[in-house]
Amino acid sequence: MEELSRILTQAAGELIAPTTAAYVLAAIGLNLHFGYTGLLNMGQAGFMLLGAYGFAISTIAGSPLWLAVLVALVASILFALILGMPTLKLRGDYLAIVTIAAAEIIRMLGRSSGLAEWTGGQAGLRGNEFKDTFAALSPLPDGRTAIGPFEYLNNGSDSWWVRIVGWSLVALALLVVWLLTRSPWGRLLKGVREDEDAVRALGKNVYAVKMQALVLGGVLGSLGGIIYVLPRAVQPDGMARSMTFFVWTVLLLGGAATLFGPVLGAMLFWAVFMLLRAGMREGMAGTLAPDQVENIGGLVVGLALMLLVIFRPQGILGNKKELAFDAR
């Protein structure tokens, strides 16, 4: 009984975990790309990793917090421009191929020994090297605080402070996306998603609109990347293709082109994922090694994504009616 309650508390903790907030941010970005504009970004992890490196490397080099965040955002803006310029005039599939490859290139560069002086190579950058400026900003007194079943340090790695900042950013991102998507600009995004030639025929600069969406979604991805590494280290191999794949699962689970889809999707995804892994660890402690638990967990996620796309392609919050006449 005690075991069960520990597992449940652990799963519930995922609802407000910094990692969940990071995934919400990345999925809100992907929602701007795919949900609203129809852009197939298969490399959101690349934007996240770039944000993480941008923030961590410049902090280690001595930048204040605001500058480190700015560097991370500018890096992702440049990345989006470089990816978008050659591909956004072409058919949609090209962006998918280029983003998946570019995200891999970022990771390979990060773990290569040539750049190890800055990136730490394969081992990455330890959290203690880059989180001081962030921690110093905390107004919270030192110590621990328990709210309900959740008890964390006020400051430090896996702290209330990271949670407060992470979820505040989520709230801000939701506000901005809400403002954008209810506007004529947001309508333009959806028009491009439905049929870009039709929108072009009405005199709109489709290329510019797609580029703006790509940049904005990428910036949210890079913010997510910063929040993701604050409670841990920057490890290039931990932010690889499977991360992109998880962000997609989060988005499709919650419902693409819905405002709260990414939030609901990420909370549900991480809570259930934790339940699954903690359950396996506790229940089959003797039979399964820890890395087997992770593998089986990943397998179940893949299966769940497939079932989701087949049986509820609109996600939890999506509107079935809208999907019924997807013309293409």
Partner 1 sequence: MPDETLPETPPETLPETTENDVTEVTEPESTVEALESVERSDSAAAKAAEHVLATVEPTVGVSKPDTILVADGVQRRFGGMTAVDVDHLEVQRGVITALIGPNGAGKTTFFNLLTGFDKPNQGSWSFEGKSLAGISAAKVARNGMVRTFQLTKALSRLTVLQNMQLAAMDNPGENLFASLVKPLWSGTEKRNAEKALEILSRFKLDAKKDDFAGSLSGGQRKLLEMARALMTDPTMIMLDEPMAGVNPALVQSLLGHIQALRDDGMTVLFVEHDMHAVRHISDWVVVMAEGRIVAEGPPAAVMQDQAVVDAYLGAHHDTDLGDDSLLDPAVLARLEAEEEKR
Q: Which residues bind partner 1 (CB under 8 A)?
A: 176, 179-180, 183-188, 190-191, 193-195, 197-206, 212, 216, 321-322, 324-327
Residue with Cβ nearer partner 1 (311 or 325): 325
Residue with Cβ nearer partner 1 (126 or 204): 204
Residue with Cβ nearer partner 1 (120 or 255): 255
Q: Region of 289 please: left (phi>0), alpha (psi -120 to 50) or beta.
A: beta
Closest distance of CB 55 from partner 1, Å: 24
Residue with tokens 């490890």: 235
Closest distance of CB 305 from partner 1, Å: 23
Tell me the H-state helices in the chain. 2-14, 18-30, 44-60, 65-87, 92-111, 116-119, 127-130, 132-136, 160-181, 184-194, 196-201, 206-229, 241-254, 261-283, 290-311, 320-324
Closest distance of CB 193 from partner 1, Å: 8
Closest distance of CB 189 from partner 1, Å: 10
**Around 265, how many Cα atoms within 13 Å sit in the side-chain half-sphere?**
35
β-partners of residue 153 are 144, 159
Residue with Cβ nearer partner 1 (101 or 201): 201
β-partners of residue 125 are 234
Closest distance of CB 206 from partner 1, Å: 7
Contact predicate 199/9, CB 8 Å: no
Q: Looking at residue 146, what DSSP letter applies?
A: E
Residue with Cβ nearer partner 1 (2 or 328): 328
β-partners of residue 152 are 145
Contact predicate 21/169, CB 8 Å: yes
Closest distance of CB 199 from partner 1, Å: 7
Closest distance of CB 94 from partner 1, Å: 16
Nearest-angstrom CA–CA distance, 177 and 182: 8
Nearest one of 244, 242, 221, 245 to 308, comparing CA atoms: 245
Residue type, 151: E
Residue with Cβ nearer partner 1 (82 or 185): 185
Residue with Cβ nearer partner 1 (5 or 319): 319
